[in-house]
Amino acid sequence: MGTELAAVSVDPVADNRRVADQLGLDFPILADESHSVVTDYGVLHVGGGIGGRDIARPAILLIGPDGTVTWRHLTENWRVRIRPEKLIAVLRGVG
């Protein structure tokens, strides 16, 4: 079964295009400038950004083929994110 990757932040499209170009990213980086999706998913960090901007807290969700959340990782420290090898192990687990 295929696994897709997508990122979300509250940054505008132009910023995401620059980052994707700089880092050579070929997965979609979605711009949630209105914070609506971040809010729907309950991962809004009010005042967490530069100058007190509202941003997304770091979070990784695995959404199954039927649209159900099958795994999530919410770090309690923004410096410490999940390692790619751990995530790959999780993905192997769901086949």
Partner 1 sequence: MTKSTMTRRNHAVWVGALISLIGLISYFTFFARFPALRDVPKVNFALVLIGLAVSAWGLLRRRSLWSITGLAVSAACAGLLAAYVFVLSYGLPDAEHAIQVGETAPAFALPDQEGRITTLEEYRGSNLVLVFYRGFW
Q: Quickly tell me which residue has 């979070």 as its tokens.
A: 59
For partner 1 (CB under 8 A), the number of binding residues is 67
In the complex, least distance from residue 91 CB atom to partner 1, rounded to whole angstroms: 7
Longest dimension (CA), the chain: 42
Q: Report how far apart, in Å, the C-alpha atoms of 35 and of each of 20, 44, 53 are.
A: 21, 7, 11
89 near partner 1, rule: CB under 8 A: no
The contact set with partner 1 (CB under 8 A) reads 1-11, 13, 15-20, 25, 28-32, 37-38, 40-46, 48-50, 53, 55-72, 74-81, 83, 87, 91, 94
